[in-house]
């Protein structure tokens, strides 16, 4: 916070400016009932862990009623909790317990699509003249008998983005699984129903929404074909359904109808694959009243080729170029989310770090240091604070995620070998994020007394929360220190970001500067020692290693944060 001696108070920052968000994927967090699936009482029972970590906001992945085709991202009732996870009363209890500890709760809002079992869709598909028909995107097929999909878009989970309904012969649009039909946002009744549901949750006391694929709600008129790359099965619909023509209008309407006038203002996070910095700046400019921050994907696609299964070597130069550009282009206006991990991404320590026993701890700490000292809002995905690694699965039967399983099915049909598929899943499957949180070294990592729905990583005997909370040198305590630093050091929130040595392949280095303070962050993001050209003057604030840095060289995965005090010409004389 700004010192009292500053002559003029800066404009009030929103409450979330110095907040750190922790994401809970309820299915894999903690099971209280013994059925092998995480649940809401399991979360409530572990709030000590979150409080000790020091996070401010919990983003809860979907717990609504759902057939669980996509683990809850297919909602059949927006105003109830799925019995898998508990009851509405359990959720109220979690909310009260979080509030009692000074934490906030942000719900996942999945309104690009519903489940095909949502009563709206059941009604919609029942007859072409049903009043809910126009709540979803129905079209006649192409071909002589309408036997071909209305356009060439592919779904994110393999196969076409359209499914033909036997009864009417028409096709409905689903950018994700056939069990996730897209809502038709052109229809004002749909929008009004979504607004009403959102107000209902805010009235219940939740503190905001993380809006799932919210930049896909407005599609280009006429739903034209996407460009078909040579050899591709489907056209690229992305440019036609992302950041579409009426997106900003819809977001502003949500803001007006749902958020305006509420104090404190709820937090809104727009999950937006394929958003540009220019778009992000507009969407998060407070003057436009759309969303508070974007959650974008550029930095988690740079080690991927044309599909997510096409894995390329990571270039830190490329990573710095993208994250650095987001820093610069949103410096004056706009706000970005900072993350390595979430429930859709493999584990950061395995993907960007080194999860071998020698380097796991230091590399997890180094990655966290770099990320948390950027400008924006950091997200910690459950288990990341323990340096949890990818699952060592060796058989297809161990995987659960529909995206992975559909890929296996489609690729096999095209002749892919099992070894190739296993190699792809071992690097890129979403299931790496979804193995149970490792609480203890005991059976099933203390996650459940039953049989876990997905196998626990056997490394839990070493890597677990109980051991790390007791060890001041653990990954957990490093995350705790980074989170605390954001709360106490205004420079982490406000400081101007300047990238250093941008061309260096191993070093990630930058400064953050305010009139009073400069933080210098230098990290060796590799498993070999490297010469350090950056001046490490000042006071050592944090390090990923137990011993202080030496002159001129950084050890493997050594990350240090230095602080210097600047002469502040603008400071007045203390009263």
Judged by the rule CB under 6 A, the positions of this chain that interact with ligand TEU are: 70, 73, 110, 156, 176, 212-213, 273, 308, 343-344, 403, 430
CA 406 distance to own-chain centroid: 22
Asked if residues 374 and 327 have their Cβ atoms less than 8 Å apart, the reply is: yes
DSSP 572: -
**CB burial readout 33-64, b (16+ within 10 A) else e:** beebbbbbbbbbebbebbeebbbbbbbbbbbb
CB of 164 to ligand TEU, least distance (A): 21
The C-alpha atoms of residue 544 and residue 532 are separated, in whole angstroms, by 16
Catalytic positions: 212, 271
Q: How far is the CB of 179 from ligand TEU (least distance, A)?
A: 11
- Report in angstroms how near the CB of residue 424 gets to ligand TEU at its nearest: 12
How far is it, in rounded angstroms, from Cα 415 to Cα 12? 59
Q: How far is the CB of 402 from ligand TEU (least distance, A)?
A: 8
C-beta closer to ligand TEU: residue 270 or 495: 270
The nearer residue to ligand TEU, 61 or 124, going by C-beta atoms, is 61
Give the start-end residues of each E strand in 15-134: 21-24, 57-60, 64-65, 77-81, 104-109
Q: Does 264 sit behind a cis peptide bond, omega within 30 degrees of 0 on the bond before it?
A: yes
CB of 319 or CB of 425, closer to ligand TEU? 425
Return the residue matching tokens 């049989």: 451
Task: For residues 170 and 130, give the distance between their C-alpha atoms in angstroms, rounded to a whole number.
Answer: 14
Q: Least distance in Å: CB of 326 to ligand TEU?
A: 18
Q: Quick one: 402 or 519, whose CB is closer to ligand TEU?
A: 402
Q: Where are the beta strands (DSSP E) in 375-425?
A: 377-381
| Distance of closest approach, residue 385 Cβ to ligand TEU, in angstroms | 20
CB 348 within 8 A of CB 384: yes
Tell me which residue of 332, 339, 460 sits closest to 392, measured CA to CA. Answer: 460
Which of 61, 506 has the CB closer to ligand TEU?
61
**Closest CB to ligand TEU among 19 and 175?**
175
Tokens (6 digits) for 546: 């137990």
């Amino acid at each position: 916070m700004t010192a009292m001696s500053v002559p003029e108070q800066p404009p009030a920052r929103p409450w979330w400016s110095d907040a750190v968000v922790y994401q809970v994927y309820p299915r894999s967090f903690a099971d209280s009932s013994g059925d092998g699936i995480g649940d809401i009482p399991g979360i409530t029972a572990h709030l000590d862990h979150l409080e000790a970590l020091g996070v401010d906001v919990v983003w809860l992945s979907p717990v609504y009623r759902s057939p669980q085709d996509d683990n809850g991202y297919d909602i059949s009732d927006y105003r109830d909790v799925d019995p898998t996870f508990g009851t509405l009363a359990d959720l109220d209890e979690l909310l009260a317990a979080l509030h009692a500890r000074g934490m906030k709760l942000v719900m996942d809002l999945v309104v690009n699509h519903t489940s095909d079992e949502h009563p709206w869709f059941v009604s919609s598909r029942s007859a072409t003249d049903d009043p809910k028909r126009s709540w979803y995107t129905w079209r006649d097929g192409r071909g002589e008998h309408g036997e071909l999909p209305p356009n060439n878009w592919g779904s994110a989970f393999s196969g076409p983005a359209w499914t033909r309904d036997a009864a009417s012969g028409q096709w409905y649009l689903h950018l994700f699984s056939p069990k996730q039909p897209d809502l038709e946002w052109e229809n004002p009744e749909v929008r009004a129903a979504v607004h009403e549901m959102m107000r209902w949750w805010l009235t219940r006391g939740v503190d905001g929404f993380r809006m799932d694929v919210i930049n896909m709600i407005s599609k280009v008129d006429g739903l034209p074909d996407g460009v078909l790359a040579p050899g591709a099965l489907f056209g690229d619909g992305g440019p036609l359904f992302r950041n579409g023509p009426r997106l900003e209008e819809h977001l502003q309407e949500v803001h007006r109808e749902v958020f305006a006038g509420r104090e404190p203002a709820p937090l809104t996070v727009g999950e937006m694959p394929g958003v540009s910095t220019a778009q992000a700046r507009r969407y998060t400019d407070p003057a436009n009243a759309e969303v508070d921050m974007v959650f974008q994907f550029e930095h988690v696609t740079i080690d991927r080729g044309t599909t997510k299964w096409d894995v390329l070597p990571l270039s830190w130069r490329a990573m710095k170029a993208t994250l650095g550009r987001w820093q610069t282009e949103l410096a004056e206006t706009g706000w970005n989310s900072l993350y390595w991990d979430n429930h859709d991404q493999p584990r950061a320590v395995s993907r960007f770090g080194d999860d071998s026993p020698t380097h796991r701890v230091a590399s997890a700490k180094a990655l966290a240091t770099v990320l948390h000292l950027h400008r924006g809002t950091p997200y910690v995905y459950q288990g990341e604070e323990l340096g949890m690694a990818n699952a060592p699965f060796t058989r297809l039967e161990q995987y659960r995620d529909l995206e992975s399983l559909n890929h296996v099915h489609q690729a096999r049909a095209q002749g892919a070998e099992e070894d190739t598929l296993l190699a792809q899943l071992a690097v890129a499957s979403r299931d790496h994020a979804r193995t149970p949180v490792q609480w203890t070294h005991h059976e099933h990592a203390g996650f459940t007394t039953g049989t876990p729905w997905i196998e626990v990583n056997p490394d839990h005997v070493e890597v677990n929360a109980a051991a790390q909370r007791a060890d001041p040198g653990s990954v957990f305590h490093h995350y705790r220190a980074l989170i605390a630093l954001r709360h106490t050091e205004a420079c982490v929130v406000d400081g101007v970001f300047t990238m250093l040595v941008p061309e260096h392949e191993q070093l990630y280095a930058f400064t953050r500067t305010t009139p009073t303070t400069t933080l210098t962050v230098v990290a060796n993001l590799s498993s070999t020692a490297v010469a350090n050209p950056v001046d490490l003057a000042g006071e050592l604030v944090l390090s990923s290693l137990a011993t202080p840095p030496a002159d001129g060289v950084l050890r493997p995965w050594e990350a240090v944060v230095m602080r210097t005090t600047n002469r502040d010409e603008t400071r007045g004389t203390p009263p």
